[in-house]
A and B are shown apart, each in its own frame.
Chain A
Amino acid sequence: MSRPANNKRLTPLGALGVFCGLAGAAIGYQANAQDFTIENATVAMGDGSEPMEGATVIVRGGKIVSVGTGAASTGGERIDGTGMWVTPGLVASVTSLGLWDVGAVSESNDTAARESPFSAALDAAPIVNPNSQHILVHRAAGITRAATVTMPSASIFGGQGAIIDLGADANPVTRSRAFQIVTLGEIGARLSGGSRASAHVLFRNALREATKLGEDSRIPGMSSRPPEQGLGDDVPIDPRLAGEDNERAGDVLLSRFDAAALVPVVRGEQPLYVMVERASDIRSVLALKREFADLDLVLVGASEGWLVAQDIAAAGVPVIADGLDDLPQNFEELAATQSNIGRMVKAGVKVAINASAMENPRNLNQYAGNLVALSRIPGADGLTWGQAFATITSVPAEISGLTGRAGTLGTGASGDVVMWDGDPLEVGSMPVRVFIDGIEQPLDNHQSRLKERYRDLDESDLPKGYDW
């Protein structure tokens, strides 16, 4: 853990040692968590409720202690929140944060492994780079947790995603191998040889091979869901990669590692994110539960979800949906509309806004704000402010397995707190202070340094190269 070097607001290290011993429920590294109280702010809980004014947020030992309008300061730094908004940090799902530097510079880009012999076995956790500028930039934009994953490219399976925090420390991973991702629909059809029919057969074959391997190799239960990481360099080795090399039938399609990686999927121990758009494809995915009863499904994309919203709701499957897609981008999104999320929420579906369906995940709050705007357009279906904010905080946190612990300011949640200079859903609002697990975060990055250098173009004394 490297502390923000130049921040006088931080309390001395020694005073914080008491928190190091907190029980394992804590998310992330707690050593430098500070106690603070933000007073008289407009506070949004992230749980779907509307914001409250003049509220106080108390954080101690890296966790939310209380939020309310009557709470008094109980020690630690007192922060005046007048004119500010205070919220839980935003939760971005699905992203590739930490897996690339420059999109078109292939050497710097680990988001897809097109030539790899492996697919489902790919694991994002060991390759997340917490120094990536995109993590720094998005931290400064108020995103504190994210799901990050390699995308399907060599096969319909993309690999195992990690839940990360965006803190300025060496330990980005909150939970490794948190989910598996698969693409069906048009992309899945292409990756599997040219037809959705092939994608479905490949998918079923993969799960059956995984079932068999899990039984034959006695892969233990919950092998994919290691405990959340605590201190430092303890990302555990995937036990499936070290298991016995049992003999398998001669006609298997999956490598042993890929098959092993799907064992927890078929057992429902690891959520399966299914990228799919078309209404009929969504129905086919929901029907998979009849063959593989334990699957823990999450839909990703779902541009035509509103057409089958009742079915999705009845299946209890959450959706990470493209927020503002409203064009027939391809033939599986003919019914795309910005009202998609509003209509699914109305039908009782749990919906998060998909961070990968926008130019940058830092536009999540703008997308959520647009869904509020829709509520004023006749014939459209939007969200209330509280509902919209939940689609980028508590709901993606719940889908990420962090219910009650991220994306909310509920008591006991991690101290992921953002102070904003205005309504966080309004374009142009930005964080002024960001805390992750109660630790104040630096907000500087490559962009902020460029901003400082080029605030003027004066080179009368020295070239710009000396201005740093």
Chain B
Amino acid sequence: MKLGSLIAGLSALALTACASTGDEPRPRTNAAMTADGHAPYASTYERYPGRPTALVGATVYDGRGGQIENGTVLFRDGEIVQIGDASLSTDGYDRIDGTGKFVTPGVIDIHSHLGDYPTPSVDAHADGNEATSPMTPEVWAEHSVWPQDPGFTRALANGGITALQILPGSANLTGGRSVTLKNVSARTVQGMKFPGAPYGMKMACGENPKRVYGGRGRMPSTRMGNFAVNRQMWLDAQAYDGEKRDLGKETLKGVLDGEILIHNHCYRADEMALVMDMAKEMGYKVTAFHHAVEAYKIGDLLRENDVCSAIWADWYGFKMEAYDGILENAAFLREAGACVIIHSDDANGIQRLNQEAAKAQAAGRRVGIDVPDAEVVGWFTYNAAKAMGIAEMTGSLEPGKMADVVLWNGDPLSVYTRPEKVWIDGALMYDALDRKRRPVSDFELGQPGEGDVK
């Protein structure tokens, strides 16, 4: 059995067991399932064939702060076997010379709308915001994802993206469930779903929800309205007994049970502090604040509450709550001991998360905060995996983990560097040196530039 399907099977088994034993104090109503007890819309992804591969001679960043010069990375059967120095035996492996090159874990974007806001960006494709109610915990992003979004291919080839979380948009206070994908070309979204990844739920504070709904003369039209609607939603969810299935409440219950992770779009520091208190009041945890342009003002609070900040390097000014964005956000958070993730929220930015991280690192260096390169790589690999609940499986180069690996043609923190090869579960899915080893979306077949380097 392939690794992917094994994990998917175990996951479904676990959910079945929970539902049938009745040991839990609360009904496990979040676990929507098929009549035969399986998770619905389950992942059908199975890893593609790969060769036992030894990357030798490169600088290796393991994603968790480790760095090995002239390192060796061994993977086979979809898994990392070992990483170490040049003394590791490569017998039985295809050797790839990485001299002068760099190896990192596959890049992970915790905030993407590929598939639910795909290109071409026509109205017919605008599937990311169910902006008909401020609370839509019942919607699932995977039901919007178009697997033929050409953006997935660019993220792979130019960004080295191997996994990503697709979120609903931020029009609603509660936008619905996210889905975590392997960045593999597939005919169905099930064929991309990351086996065993937990669900997330998107929430949003601040300007967007109050603008969208206030503009229609309905609640919320203010920040205090935002909180009132949210708090009542949680109270109602707490009272849900699961007798009659309710899609939205199932998701909210999953959050209250700690099985669904909260990804909260929030810009302002004071608002994030209020949200963290709301989470305490209602009995859930915020896993990460997304965008979080003012996170640097409350690095201490974020550390104490163990909440990650998923941020851009330099976006600012496009709306009032983004006015105080500064380049040093990541460095100040890190200085405060809080968790930093570099995210994109953008079909172009996802192609350059490594460069965005490098900009944030350099801003820190200018104010005397020297973050080692190996740690900065973690901002777009391991830390993202951790906040997506998949760090046991990917996000770092450790034995037994998925062989999601990027070979860069230079220092990944340099503008002059591009991915040369990208493996997903040990299968070579992109090779800059092989014109045919890159996916082309159905949409682009027969169009000008089909198969171009893009």
Contacts and interface: CB of A to CB of B under 8 A. Distances in A.
B453 A379 contact: yes
B132 interface: no
A139 to B, nearest CB: 15
A138 to B, nearest CB: 11
A133 B318 CA distance: 12
B452 interface: yes
B443 interface: yes
Contacts of A328: 119-120, 150, 443-444, 447
Contacts of B363: 428, 430
B314 interface: yes
Contacts of B315: 359-360
Contact of A327 (B150, B207, B365, B416): B150
A428 B413 CA distance: 9
A210 interface: no
Interface in A416-452: 421, 425-430, 446-447, 450-451
A102 B314 CA distance: 15
- Count class of interface residues, chain A: 35 or more
Interface stretch (B29-37, B62-70, B319-327): B319-327
Interface stretch (A39-47, A69-77, A312-320, A330-338): A330-338
Given A329-B121, A334-B447, A376 B418 contact: yes
A339 B316 contact: no
B454 A338 contact: yes
Contacts of B352: 366, 370
B367 A327 contact: no
A328 to B, nearest CB: 5
Contacts of B326: 447, 450-451, 454
Interface in B334-385: 336, 346-349, 351-352, 355, 358-359, 361-363, 365-367
A374 B454 CA distance: 10
Contacts of B409: 376
B453 A339 contact: yes
A235 interface: no
Interface string B433-449: 10100000001100111
A102 B319 contact: yes
A369 interface: yes
A103 B314 contact: no
A157 to B, nearest CB: 25
Contact of B314 (A324, A338, A359, A455): A359
A447 B449 contact: no
B359 A327 contact: no
Interface residues of B, number: 64
Contacts of A455: 332, 367
Contacts of B325: 447
A334 B448 contact: yes
Contacts of A170: none
Given A279-B448, A447-B316, A377 B432 contact: yes
A427 B414 contact: yes
B317 A430 contact: no
Contact of A335 (B319, B347, B449): B449
B225 to A, nearest CB: 19
Contact of B348 (A307, A325, A339, A450): A325
A350 interface: no
B155 to A, nearest CB: 10
Contacts of B328: 451, 454
A228 interface: no
A447 B207 CA distance: 21
Contacts of B447: 328, 334-335
Contacts of A451: 326-328, 367
Contacts of A369: 415-416
B300 interface: yes
A329 B358 contact: no
Nearest to B208: A104
B348 A104 contact: no
B151 interface: yes
B348 A133 contact: no
B403 to A, nearest CB: 24
Contacts of A430: 362-363, 366
Contacts of A103: 317-319
Contacts of A363: 314
B122 interface: yes
Nearest to B211: A104
B53 interface: no
B453 A338 contact: yes
Contacts of B361: 428
Contact of B120 (A307, A329, A428): A329
Given A337-B449, A428-B358, A457-B336, A373 B418 contact: yes
B168 interface: no
Residue from B358, B366, B454 having most chain A Cβ neighbours under 10 A: B454
Nearest to B448: A335
A428 B299 contact: no
B154 interface: yes
A195 to B, nearest CB: 17
B120 A373 contact: no
B296 interface: yes
A330 B367 contact: no
Residue from B328, B347, B415 having most chain A Cβ neighbours under 10 A: B415
A-B complex: 10 closest residue pairs judged by Cβ atoms: A428-B362, A369-B415, A104-B319, A335-B448, A335-B449, A103-B318, A380-B453, A326-B454, A427-B358, A327-B119
10 contacts: A102-B318, A327-B119, A328-B120, A328-B150, A338-B453, A360-B315, A372-B415, A379-B435, A379-B452, A447-B327
Given A335-B452, A370-B352, A380-B453, 13 more contacts: A104-B319, A137-B316, A324-B351, A325-B348, A328-B120, A328-B150, A337-B454, A339-B454, A373-B415, A373-B418, A374-B453, A376-B416, A378-B432
Interface of A: 101-105, 133-134, 137, 279, 304, 307, 324-331, 334-339, 359-360, 362-363, 366, 369-370, 372-374, 376-380, 421, 425-430, 446-447, 450-451, 454-455, 457, 464
